[in-house]
Amino acid sequence: MQRISSVEPKAAQGRTKELLDTVEKTFGTTPNVAKVMANSPAVLESFLAVSTAMGGAKIGGKLHHQIKLATSEANTCDYCNSILTHLGKQGGISVDEMLDGRKGTSSDPRTDGALKFARAVLETHGKVGDDDLQAVREAGFGETEIVEIVASVVVGCFTNFLNNVADTTLDIPKAEALNSCSVTGSCGCK
């Protein structure tokens, strides 16, 4: 049962209504996570601003998405894994690329370097070692992209933590656990 109430768009007023209307126009629906964020217009507005800005990140939308999947898997956020899988399908991210994100590894050396660095950022709470920075640089990432990888982890953590606290009700098909996904292909990616 959801532990933080949702703000229903029909009942919203003022700035909250404007923001929820923006979500509806952008996504064609208003996901439950946005309805939970709408309890604080400042939070929803900040999330939308960061999400929009990250759309222009040098690392690209696919890698940003994969990093958020890696973060969601590490933080065991069922809601985020599910919505990111759903949005990834809509955005043309392949099943293998989404699984790579969730596993935090890739056969592509550049993507693998970014995902491993993102995982190090998460596991060390940002106190990565010099070797972690060297490895991500050797994978082909400069200062701009390193900052963007960290931002992707933080954005992922924010939504993971909020959805885990709220126990946000799934309003999209549930992504199966990674071990089921890897063995049966039943993750919802297909």
Strand residue runs (E) in the chain:
none
Largest CA distance in the chain: 51
Instruction: Please state, in angstroms and rounded to a whole number, the distance separating the CA atoms of residues 173 and 121.
Output: 29
Tell me the whole-structure pTM to 2 decimals. 0.92
pLDDT tens for 144-171 read 999 999 999 999 999 999 999 999 999 9
Q: What's the pLDDT score for residue 183? A: 46
| Closest to 66 measured CA to CA, from 102, 37, 92 | 102
Using CA atoms, how far residue 55 sits from 51, 63, 71, 111, 162, in Å, is: 6, 11, 18, 18, 21
pLDDT digit string, tens, across residues 85-119: 999 998 999 999 999 999 999 999 999 999 999 99
Q: What angle do CA 185, 186, 188 make, to 5 degrees?
A: 110
- The residue to which tokens 């959801």 are assigned: 2
Residues 6+ apart with CB under 8 A from 37: 43, 44, 47, 162
Instruction: Collect all residues with Cβ–Cβ distance below 8 Å to 96 and sequence separation of at least 6.
Output: none
d(CA 172, CA 108): 30
In three-state secondary structure terms, 118 is: helix
Domains of the chain as residue ranges with CATH: 1-54 (no CATH), 60-184 (1.20.1290.10)
**Which residue has better confidence, 190 or 55?**
55
Distance, in Å, from the CA atom of 182 to the CA atom of 176, rounded to the nearest integer, reads 10
